[in-house]
Amino acid sequence: MTPVNNPAIQPVAKAVLAEKSERLINMKRLNLGIVGALVVLAGCSDGALTSGLQDETTGTEVFASKGATTSSFGNPLGEPSECSGNYRSRSYELLAGQKKSAGFVNVSTDGNFLYVTYDTNETADLKEVHVNVYTKATDVPTKRPAPGQAPYKAQNLFLDSYTVSIPLSDFNLQGADLCGFTFYVIAHAALTVDETGSEANAGETAYSGGNNNLGKGAWFYISEYTVGCDCTAACISEGDLIAGQYSDIGSVVISDDAENIYVTYTTEGDWLLDQVHVYVYSDVSQLPANRPAPGQAPYKAENLGVQEFVVVIAKADLARSCPVIVVPHASVYSISGGSETAYGGILGETDINVGGRGAWYYYQEFACCS
């Protein structure tokens, strides 16, 4: 491999892009153990975001301090669920009428948004959803907040599933290191007749969470979402090197360490790399409708004549280093004659304008592990 250090690849621009992502989390219906919960907030110094989850088997300190009582159903800490980029989501039971199962609520983040996804079971559908979010235990109310006054809400849904997307910029947390940080989420739902006709939970009030009744007054629960950072499945992005829109002539592998992202081009057969150009974006929504000009890419190398080449991108150069969308372009030529434009990507999945109008290209998604 021939690494390219930053001076040689001539970074000429930094990606400063806002992330907007809407994802529906694939819910796992989990058998929740009947457990209590303890969340102990670690002290914060100089504004550092520190919130430690220490014991998931006893009562919750924040609620005990507010005169909480312990109930026998639900788990406010939730259960580990799918990964969203580097961060682990958690799933909470959606309880109607205090203790009847109505489905699940999944809470996740990608570093720019907090996602609250409701998924009802066959007992009801969603009519309205209302979400309150707190970043400090001391701000959690002891009385039920009026659902209609929630800052994040949707009405007249009549759906089985719905996701509320909340910008982390609302809490000055966009782009922050969220590992171990705790969000206190009050996820309310007004339920209606299920699409199957079931009225088992129709007309009920429902909340996600459990085990943290706050005493007198109208009941409600809080889901305590402590962000986990144990997602390591996507440490490497493996794509094809696709020439002329459809021909697989090699591979593009993206990996990283603590300081850099590495884009490794490899050709097969008698194909050689002449030039490589790399763009990095924050999100799929930021990809241009037409092919970005290869010659203007911030990371590039030319006059190569090799079958393998590594482009090194300093994470410090990027406004946001992970997860990212990489557009890896290459100009290639064959020893037996002919040349082609090629891109790293996945045939039939990560393509723009392939088979259609406009200049085509491919891209690769990469969620860092370091």
pLDDT along the chain (370 residues), means of 10: 38 30 33 30 28 30 38 77 83 93 94 95 97 95 93 96 96 89 96 95 92 71 91 75 94 89 96 97 89 95 96 88 89 95 92 84 82
- How far apart are the C-alpha atoms of 366 and 85, rounded to whole Å? 9
Report which DSSP code applies to 46: T
Report which DSSP code applies to 319: S
Considering the domain architecture, whether residues 158 and 270 belong to the same structural domain is answered as no
User: Comparing C-alpha atoms, which of 318, 273, 271, 320 is closest to residue 299?
Assistant: 318
323 upstream amide cis, omega within 30 of 0: yes
Considering the domain architecture, whether residues 165 and 239 belong to the same structural domain is answered as no
292 upstream amide cis, omega within 30 of 0: no
The domain spanning residue 8 has which CATH number? 2.60.40
User: Comparing C-alpha atoms, which of 251, 285, 256 is closest to residue 269?
Assistant: 251
Domains: count for the chain: 2
Give backbone dihedrals phi and psi of 284, rounded to 5 degrees, phi first.
-55, -35
In the three-class reduction of DSSP (H, G, I as helix; E, B as strand; rest coil), residue 83 is classed as strand
The pLDDT of residue 16 is: 27
Burial class (CB in 10 A: 0-12, 13-18, 19+), 369: middle
Considering the domain architecture, whether residues 91 and 204 belong to the same structural domain is answered as yes
- How far apart are the C-alpha atoms of 60 and 47, rounded to whole Å? 24
Residue 23 lies in a domain: no
Considering the domain architecture, whether residues 219 and 71 belong to the same structural domain is answered as yes
Considering the domain architecture, whether residues 258 and 222 belong to the same structural domain is answered as no
Considering the domain architecture, whether residues 305 and 191 belong to the same structural domain is answered as no
Considering the domain architecture, whether residues 180 and 68 belong to the same structural domain is answered as yes
Considering the domain architecture, whether residues 206 and 124 belong to the same structural domain is answered as yes
The pLDDT of residue 169 is: 95
- How far apart are the C-alpha atoms of 155 and 165, rounded to whole Å? 15
Q: Which of 226, 241, 268 marks a domain boundary? A: 226
Considering the domain architecture, whether residues 346 and 244 belong to the same structural domain is answered as yes
Considering the domain architecture, whether residues 212 and 65 belong to the same structural domain is answered as yes
Residue 95 lies in a domain: yes
Residue 19 lies in a domain: no
Residue 82 lies in a domain: yes
The range of the structural domain enclosing residue 339 comes to 3-13+232-366
Token pair listed for 290: 């037409």
Considering the domain architecture, whether residues 158 and 172 belong to the same structural domain is answered as yes
Residue 48 lies in a domain: yes
Residue 301 lies in a domain: yes
Residue 33 lies in a domain: no
Considering the domain architecture, whether residues 168 and 95 belong to the same structural domain is answered as yes
| H-helix or E-strand spanning residue 26 | none
- How far apart are the C-alpha atoms of 167 and 172, rounded to whole Å? 9
Token pair 């014991």 is found at 55
Residue type, 258: A
Q: Which of 165, 192, 226 marks a domain boundary? A: 226
Residue 180 lies in a domain: yes
The pLDDT of residue 261 is: 92
Q: Which of 178, 208, 226 marks a domain boundary? A: 226
The pLDDT of residue 215 is: 57
User: Comparing C-alpha atoms, which of 9, 13, 110 is closest to residue 324?
Assistant: 110
Core vs surface per residue 219-237: b (16+ CB within 10 A) or e: bbbbbbbbbbeebeebeeb
Report which DSSP code applies to 188: E
The pLDDT of residue 321 is: 66
